[in-house]
């Protein structure tokens, strides 16, 4: 692949992630998780900004009230850090639409079988594979809307990452706490 530099629309990110997810390497990244088809460790050049996350989500043309960006996506839109993928919680009807459009269900572990496509993972109805299990409705109640896209509150993300533990999540908890102190 030829490196044409970063694109503000996220296409370079998408292209690089696709190369890696399909068994190739890009910028020293090797797909360490062929089972999931995802990049596990991405250099900064592969991370999406909040603006790129918003553009990617808006490109799905989902109806308000039927989805929310969760996972680490809210960290990107808050300017805390970039993200390599976009996790969402979606309604049953949106899940059916995505599946009909060719999104594939992947098995990542107990109660963790999202629909996946491109940089997206869509969890149906509830974030139910960790100790913190909010429903779509609960997440929407406290959502932060940015340019028409609903993002789970940083408080919800902090709660999930605290409950999940592990070095990666606890690093994000510290970053969220620093963000709140500013």
pLDDT in tens, 35-67: 344 444 555 668 999 999 999 999 999 999 999
pLDDT at 146 over 70: yes
* Residue indicated by tokens 């940083």: 154
Helix (H), strand (E) at residue 162: helix 154-164
Q: What is the pLDDT of residue 21?
A: 40
Q: What is the pLDDT of residue 109?
A: 84
* Phi, psi values for residue 128, rounded to 5°: -115, 25
pLDDT in tens, 147-160: 999 999 999 999 99
pLDDT over 90 percentage in the chain: 63
Q: What residue segments make up the domains of the chain, in order of their start?
A: 1-46, 47-181
pLDDT in tens, 76-88: 999 999 999 999 9
Q: Can you name the CATH fold of 47-181?
A: Beta Polymerase; domain 2 (3.30.460)
- The whole-model pTM stands at 0.75
Residue 143 makes CB contacts below 8 A (sequence gap 6+) with 68, 150, 151, 152, 153
Q: Within a 13 Å sphere around the CA of 155, how many CA atoms are in the beta-carbon half?
A: 7
The CA-atom distances, in angstroms, between 168 and each of 44, 86, 119, 154 are 16, 16, 19, 16
pLDDT band of residue 9 (cuts 50, 70, 90) is very low
DSSP 3-state of 104: strand
Convert 74-85 to b/e letters by CB count within 10 Å (16 or more is b).
bbbbbebbbbbb
């Amino acid at each position: 692949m030829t490196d044409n530099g970063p694109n503000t629309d996220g296409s370079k990110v998408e292209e690089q992630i696709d190369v890696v997810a399909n068994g190739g390497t890009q910028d020293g990244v090797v797909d360490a998780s062929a089972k999931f088809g995802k990049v596990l460790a991405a250099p900064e050049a592969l991370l999406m900004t909040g603006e790129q996350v918003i553009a990617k989500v808006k490109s799905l043309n989902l109806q308000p009230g039927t989805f929310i960006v969760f996972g680490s996506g809210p960290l990107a839109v808050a300017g805390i850090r970039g993200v390599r993928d976009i996790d969402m919680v979606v309604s049953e009807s949106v899940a059916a639409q995505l599946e009909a459009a060719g999104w594939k269900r992947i098995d990542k572990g107990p109660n963790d079988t999202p629909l996946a496509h491109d940089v997206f993972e869509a969890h149906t109805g509830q974030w139910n594979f960790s100790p913190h299990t909010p429903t779509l409705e609960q997440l929407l109640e406290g959502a932060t809307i940015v340019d028409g896209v609903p993002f789970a509150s940083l408080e919800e993300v902090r709660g999930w990452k605290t409950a999940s533990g592990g070095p990666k999540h606890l690093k994000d908890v510290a970053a969220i706490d620093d963000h709140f102190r500013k």
